Amino acid sequence: MHAASVGLTALALCLSSGLAQASEQAEAKGFIEGSSLRLLTRNFYFNRDFRDAAAGDQSYREEWAQGELAFYQSGFTQGTLGLGVDAHGLLGLKLDGGRGRSGADLLPVDSDGRPEDSYASAGGVLKARLSSTELRYGDMRTELPVFATGDSRLLPETATGALLTSQEVEGLRLDAGHFTAYKLRDSSNHDDELYLNYGEGKVGKAIDFVGGTYAITPQLNASLYAADFAETWRQYYGNLLYVLPLSDSQALDFDFNLYRTRDTGKALQGEIDNTTYSFAVGYAFGAHKLTAAYQKVDGDTPFDYVGGDSIFLANSVNYSDFNGAHERSWQLRYDLDLASYGVPGLKFSARYIKGDDIDGSQADPLGGYAGLQGQGGEHWERNLDLRYVVQSGAAKDLSLRLRHATHRANAAQGEGDVDELRLIVEYPFDIL
């Protein structure tokens, strides 16, 4: 049975449950009355310096672009069954960039290797709501651990399909979906194949998934999802998140994530038998937070995923995912909120991740991961992040963010020696 079919059954049972909370549709304001229109202007500078590039290879990528993003959400019509629409429009404009520096994924690149001067896309969703269960169909963003579109460049990614979400039971959210096409972050095309991050060759034509998150207590949340990537793999995800307050200004949190992936059907990416997990412990005290994390990949292939951000693991960071075959990795992170020091809106973070024991030499020689990594791979990455959000005045909610990453690796790891800088300025406008 497909994951989406299982999801429909679970949602139907949920609808008939006597534990249902107050219906969201009963409080519908109306199609126009419940509408919202949000604009976001985004200025993005990106450069990536490949410190170990071979002679004749591109050693530097640099682009600067302006993005204009508009998101409209209608309300739901009143009555037992509520209907509505969502729509978005995305525009990217080149400010700087040229042949020899292209490829930063802020802008599409033409056949001569030059970044395009502009690109745009638009999409929409039809939606229906019964009680507190909502069905959406069209071109949309998703944020689920087995299928999440990315938003790490100028314009966000979107995917085409159907998404069913139910919150009939208090504390429980159920999701089921079926998606067949993708729009990449530097593209105007909504009909691209589903995006696979590491595998090469043919990819599945559709992904189906089902799962949910339940708040067991106010401090403990659990999630469980299953996905079927057509003729490629079946993937399962579990999460436990526990927050332990110690005082008014101190708390511990524990975050455990687990993915299990096995090939299925025609096994388009070859043999896959992969278990990957991460465990993070954080200690927050006043304006500070310290986090330590461990991540492990058990399998002859890397942990791979569909969609630009479908990796809910502790050591997936700015540049690397630390997801190589058999890889183990550690992270130390420090966060500081400077509001306590008289600068509200200013936050800083720094982290260091080290990975080793990578061995991709046993990957299926006929699969999509053959030759991706060698034996004895190791690498490290350092991230620095500084973000400020204006708190009041005419520029309220304007945000400025500076992100720097340094990555160093040996040849068996394969991602190379990289220095990266991102400067992002965003300003949101609420029109409705």
Last-in-domain residue among 139, 171, 192: 192
- Cα distances from 206 to residues 119, 174, 181, 429, in angstroms, run 26, 20, 8, 35
Q: Write the pLDDT tens digit of every residue in 91-101.
A: 999 999 988 89
User: How many Å apart are CA 406 and CA 417, to the nearest integer?
Assistant: 8
The pLDDT, as a whole number, for residue 377 is: 98
Number of domains present in the structure of the chain: 2
Q: Please determine, for residue 17, whether its predicted confidence score (pLDDT) is greater than 50.
A: no
What are the backbone dihedrals phi and psi of residue 14, each rounded to the nearest 5 degrees, phi first? -65, -40
Provide the pLDDT for residue 347: 98
Residue range of the domain that includes 10: 1-192
Does residue 164 share a domain with residue 289?
no
CA distances from 86 to 8, 36, 139, 165, 262 (A): 23, 10, 9, 16, 36
Query: CATH no. for residue 157?
Result: 2.40.160.10
The answer to whether the beta carbons of residues 206 and 180 sit under 8 Å apart is yes
pLDDT digits (tens, 9 = 90+) for 104-130: 999 999 988 899 999 999 999 999 999
Among 176, 192, 208, residue at a domain's last position: 192
Q: Which residues contact 369 (CB under 8 A, 6 or more apart)?
A: 198, 199, 200, 269, 270, 301, 302, 304, 325, 360, 363
Domain boundary among 151, 173, 192: 192
Let me know the angle formed at the C-alpha of 73 by 71 and 78, rounded to the nearest 5 degrees.
175
| pLDDT over threshold 80, residue 391 | yes
Residues 79 and 216 in one domain: no
256-271 residue pLDDT tens:
999 999 999 999 999 9
% of residues, the chain, pLDDT over 70: 95
